[in-house]
Amino acid sequence: MRFFGKDFLGIYLIGFAAIASLGCEKKQTAEERKADSLAHCIADGIPSRAAAIQNASYVAQGKGDTKGMIWINGGKFLMGADEFPDSRPMHEIAVNGFYIDEHEVTNAEYAEFVKATNYKTVAERPLNPADYPGVPADKLVPGSAVFTPTPTRVSLDNPLQWWNYVAGASWAHPEGPTSSTKGRENFPVTQVSYEDAAAYAKWAGKRLPTEAEWEFAAQGGKGNHTYYWGDELKPGNKWVANIYQGSFPDKNTKEDGYLTAAPIKSFPPNPFGLYDMDGNVWEWCEDLYRPDYYQKSPKDNPKGPSNSYDPDEPGTVKKVQRGGSFLCSDDYCIRYKAGSRGKGEVTSGSNNLGFRCVRDKK
Instruction: Please state whether 29 falls in left (phi above 0), alpha (psi between -120 and 50) or beta.
Output: beta
Sign of the Cα torsion 313, 319, 322, 327 reads negative
Query: Mean pLDDT for each 10-residue chunk of the chain (362 residues)?
Result: 44 34 32 37 44 60 95 98 97 98 98 96 88 77 94 89 94 98 98 96 98 98 96 96 96 96 98 98 98 97 97 93 94 91 94 98 87
pTM of the model: 0.88
Nearest Cα to Cα of residue 70 among 274, 284, 208, 355: 274
Nearest Cα to Cα of residue 283 among 362, 186, 189: 189
**265 touches 330 (CB < 8 A):** no
**7 touches 13 (CB < 8 A):** no
**99 touches 72 (CB < 8 A):** yes
Cα separations in angstroms, 56 against 117, 118, 204, 249, 251: 11, 10, 19, 38, 42
Cα separations in angstroms, 45 against 23, 98, 142, 170, 257: 7, 36, 17, 17, 27
Q: In Å, how far from its chain's centre is CA 133?
A: 30
Give the pLDDT of residue 329. Answer: 86
Instruction: Report the relative pairing of strands 282-288 and 318-322 from DSSP bridges.
Output: antiparallel
Give the pLDDT of residue 229. Answer: 96
Instruction: Give the whole-angstrom CA distance, residue 298 versus residue 305.
Output: 10
Give the pLDDT of residue 27. Answer: 32
Instruction: Report the relative pairing of strands 282-288 and 353-354 from DSSP bridges.
Output: parallel
Give the pLDDT of residue 304. Answer: 98
Give, for 11, the enclosing helix (H) or strand (E).
Answer: helix 6-14
Instruction: Give the whole-angstrom CA distance, residue 277 versus residue 241.
Output: 9
**205 touches 65 (CB < 8 A):** yes
CA Rg value for the chain: 19
Classify residue 333 by its DSSP letter.
Answer: B
Sorted by sequence, the CB contacts under 8 Å of residue 183 that are 6+ apart come out as none
**344 touches 310 (CB < 8 A):** no
Instruction: Give the whole-angstrom CA distance, residue 167 versus residue 162.
Output: 16
